[in-house]
Structure 1
């Protein structure tokens, strides 16, 4: 299953804007940034999946 990274970026950014906890807000911003770079190619998507799921999720192009 291919993730729609643009939607993931949007969701992370929205949640960061609503988040009251500064640490959680920064983590959400970091996730949005990683998701944004994840759209650059298969290797980037794989690195994003590994960073966010511990590498358990298989990502295909």
Structure 2
């Protein structure tokens, strides 16, 4: 749950500038700003996940 009140849409705009994207939730919580989801289907490397997490850290800092 998004207990820090992170603006998921703003986070996605920031991530898009870095060539990344996350989902704005799942199921009945999708689009409500309460959750976000990092999809990992396909060929995603550890380095790509680490780069995504670094971008998220930069955004919330």
* Smaller-chain TM-score bracket: 0.3 to 0.5
TM-score, length of structure 2 as denominator length = 0.37
TM-score, length of structure 1 as denominator length = 0.37
Name the structure with the higher helix share. Answer: 1
